[in-house]
Each structure stands twice: as C-alpha cells, then as structure tokens.
Structure 1
C-alpha cells in the first residue's frame, strides 16, 4: 500500500491543470467509490481502536497514529450503506480535510486513476439533496465502463462535527458592514454542505449570495453578464471558490477569469479544504487575491470586509 501512495507529492502538479487523481476503493459491494488522492495522507491496515463513550454513532473509535489521536469514521454507516463485519479486505484511509486529520474505514483499495475534471460530472438533480456524492465519473474496468461515485466528505464530517457558523463580535466592523448589506457575492462549491455554511456565515452581515455548483457553471454566469454589457464587479462584490469541483476546478476558473479583460479585476478568494502551504503557491500561480482554508467563519467575513474597505478607499 505504501508503494501505491509513495508518489503523491509528485502528483500535486496536477492541481491547477484541471486534472486530478482519484483513489478508488470499495465498501461492501461491487460499487466503486473515490476520494481525491491529494487529500489522502496514507492507506493503512485497520489499526487498534478505542471506542469513546458517548461518541457519534458513525465513529468506529479513535486510533493512536504516530502520537496523534485520529478518529476513524465508519464510511459505510456514514453514507447509510448496509454494514458488514471487519474482515481481511478492510483498510483505513487517513485524510486531511478542513485542517483536521481523520480516518475512514473502507473495504478493498483498487487503484489510482488520473482524470480531467471535465470528466467529472455532478450528480443528477433527481438524486435529491440527501445523497452523499459530490460527483461521479466513469472508468474502464476489464473492458467495461463502471460508474465511480465521489463521496461528499464534507457532508460526512459535518454530520459528525457540527460546524459553528457564528461570526465573532471582535471581527465585525460595523462601519464597513453598513456598506456590505445588500451586496452580492458569488460562491462556487460542489458541496451543498459547504455552500450552506458560507451562506449562513455571510448572511450575518447582510450579504446576499449567488450559488454555483462548479467552476464551469460559474464561468458561464460571469460570461453571460459580460456578454450583456454588464460590469461583473457591479454585479458581485467578490467570488469565493472551492478548488476541487466537477467539470472545472477553482484554479482553472480563476485563470479563465483573469484571462478575460471584461472580468479580470474580479476579487477572488480561494476557499478550500486542501493544505494551506500548497494553496499559497497556487494562489500566486493562478492569480487569486486571497486564500482561506475551510471552514473559518471569521475569515470569510474578514475577507468580505477587506474587499469592501478596498473599494471604499478608492472613492
């Protein structure tokens, strides 16, 4: 398994090229599921776990890994699939999301596949709001096409750890927020859970939110305004975008915006669960104005206030 993930660091160059690599695995059926390799620290055999009294029902327990206490999530149970006993084909994916480390109990690990984000599609609307997928794609397996389902990890985690969207009083600038009330921002994220968190946060200072599910949808919206002769910066104060999304990622979206003189001055904040050190480099590469790791309500509001101050100072 270590050989499978040994070259993850080399794969980071795919981010920003509208490409990704997926770690494919199974749970308790022939269905294939996936997570982005870039969020995976390692894959290990099922470790010894301690069940914590009163812990969430979706947690198998807590494992001690390299001096760190890591909660292990029963992924089958978390996405409401039938459970099966631990067996020889069970593994644990250790991941980093939203500045926290956690493990996911899974079944057999299959392989890693390299894809373009344009090959990743959002789930159909008929799937309903309660599904646990952010996207799906197809792969060739033994001459047959198989569906790969990409799990909405942020939703899984949000059901275990309730994220507080309350903004601290200390960061609120009433003078600036007077000008923010009624202003619009565009948020771009494939996770409905993540979008809801941002909406709840920004609504506290009177900001209205326009939502897009992926980078391509957002780019089409921005271009439609420009094609109508509208100034994009008059329509929205700024844009918050996730990095990983179906069809077009946040890096490519930013590059497309910066390459269009009709909207190149749009203020863009990258808001992602990917590691901060990497994104600081990517922000500079593609031309984002700011980077915030998820989920930090105070920093979301601070970003909006900072942008508003910049505009007020120009007057």
Structure 2
C-alpha cells in the first residue's frame, strides 16, 4: 500500500501544472509514438502468446501475466499497417483502459519524458478523418505521435451505447429544453460515444476537443452577456487532452468567479486510484471512469434533477 500511495503523491505533483509523462515507443519504423504513463501498468518482453478461437486479427493472442489472462493487440496492425514480426524481440505495454487491462505489442520502448500539455498539439488538419492520432508533439527535435487508443479498442471490441430501461426519468429532457451539456474530449470516438448517450436522453450537447477550446467557449458566453450556469447543465471533460488537460481546465474554471460554481465531471479511461486524489485536488464535482452508458446517463439524470427541483416521480403522483 505504501508504494501505491507514493505513486499517487508523485503523480499528483503534476496536477495543476498542465504536465504529463509520456512513454515513448516504436512500431515498424523509426517513427516515435507516445502513451501517457498513467495508463501503463508495466512494460515487458513479449511473453509466449496463446491463440484464441475467433479472435480479431489485431489480437495476436493472449498472455498469462501476474495471474491473469490479457489480450495482446498488435499496435502496428491496429493502425492499418502490417503485423509486427519477430515477436521474441518485441515488447508488450500493459495498459488499463475503460476498466480493462490489455497489452499492446510494439517493436521497441525508448524512455519516459516529462512534458507540458501546452506542448502537445492536435493532429494536423490535413491528416484526414480516419487517422489514429489524438495529438502530436516534439521530443529532441523529432515528431512524436500520440495514438488514439480508444479508437483502436472501439474498433476491436465495440462498446454498447444503449441506456438500460429505468436509468433515465420520464420527461427528463422537458425540464432542460434550453440547456446543454458541454462535452470536452480530444478523442473523436470518445466524443461521439458521450454525445450519443446524452442526446439519446433528449438533451442537446456542445462539443469541444480540449480544455483550451472549452475555456474559450465559456469565455465567449460571458462576453455575449450569457451566464454559463444558465446555459449548461454540466461539463463532462476528459483528462488527457492536448493544449490544456482536464485537471488544468477544471482549475481554471474554479478560479473564475463567474464560472466557479459550474458542475464538472471528469470522465476518463485513466486509472481510478490516481484520479480520486487528483479530482479532489483540482475541485471537480465528480469522477467517472470510461465508458459505461448507464453510469454516464445516471450522472446526467441526477444533475438535471438537482438543478430543476423536485424528483419527477413525485410530481407525477
């Protein structure tokens, strides 16, 4: 337990400083890629892989690691390239996304670098719609591409986005006809997943791809003489985002007297043990691990009831 607490303390030192640590790795060529260290549980030489019937082509097999069985995905193949060869010389990055563990097969692992989110930028506009990047940056004068792992996982194992019956109160959307939910996320896939859930509840959304864009949007409302607290039901924000991460975004919202009472939920695939401490530190109202439509819908449902008064069920009696 002491080791876990030490890790929490070390990581929380980056909170509010708009910083992150990237693990750099390579695939089939010399191009360098990066993944947030928060999502990495360990890195090891590729273990023996066991075939599984009916597997996706991207899944090279499963490995028995630390008493558990983990699927191993070929990162190179997942982004549309040829399968990696020479598995005995490859490495596996064990990660935790969306409450599950999986390994990503890579050709080589370089090092960990400490960076500022302000130096992490969205992919170039000419990259097209089908690329697998959430961001790019530069390390030692060389381009580093940050892969959209959520897009890969959504393609390999699609997530159910249907809300279960009874999760959302009848007539909920009628109470907030003119209000919207602000969604902030750098992953195209994640934005669409959240948007579809919220809009299936009959509630309108506003979409921004990072914290800086979201701050600009809120500032624009104020400049137009509008009160964001009246315009928005809540903000659902990712943590990992280029330009400005979710922690820094939340801290800036709290620092603005006209925004400080905004309801902010941090919605992320990062490991929960770290985030519990971080959410408290930056002053977010809630934390929700990605991605479960019922839990997301329930948070939105409860927030609507909180800002509109009595429970809908009591009104219908």
Aligned partner of 2:3 in structure 1 is none
- 1:314: how far off? 8.2
Aligned partner of 1:230 in structure 2 is 226
In structure 1, stretches of 5+ residues that fail to align are 1-5
In structure 2, stretches of 5+ residues that fail to align are 1-5, 312-317
Q: Runs ≥4 in structure 1, deviation > 4 angstroms? A: 6-9
- Say yes or no: does 1:193 pair with 2:207: no
**1:263-297 alpha-carbon deviations (Å, 9 max, x no partner):** 11111111001122222222211111111100011
- 1:175: how far off? 4.0
Superposed, 1:136-151 pairs within 5 Å as 136-140=136-140, 145-151=141-147
- 1:256: how far off? 0.4
Aligned partner of 2:211 in structure 1 is 215
Q: Partner of 1:169: helix, strand, or coil?
A: coil
- Say yes or no: does 1:275 pair with 2:271: yes
How many residues in Structure 1 have an aligned counterpart in Structure 2? 306
Structure 2 distance, partners of 1:31, 1:109, is 12
Structure 1 distance, partners of 2:306, 2:44, is 48
- 1:183: how far off? 3.1
Aligned partner of 2:79 in structure 1 is 79
Superposed, 1:86-125 pairs within 5 Å as 86-87=86-87, 89-125=89-125
TM-score by length of 2: 0.92
Structure 1 distance, partners of 2:9, 2:32, is 24
Q: Partner of 2:28: helix, strand, or coil?
A: coil
Structure 2 distance, partners of 1:12, 1:147, is 27
Structure 2 distance, partners of 1:267, 1:7, is 28
The structure-2 alpha-carbon separation of the partners of 1:219 and 1:240, relative to structure 1 and needing over 3 Å to count, comes to same
TM-score by length of 1: 0.93
Structure 2 distance, partners of 1:173, 1:47, is 49
Aligned partner of 1:183 in structure 2 is 179
Q: CA RMSD, aligned part only?
A: 1.8
- 1:7: how far off? 7.3
Aligned partner of 2:252 in structure 1 is 256
Aligned partner of 2:132 in structure 1 is 132
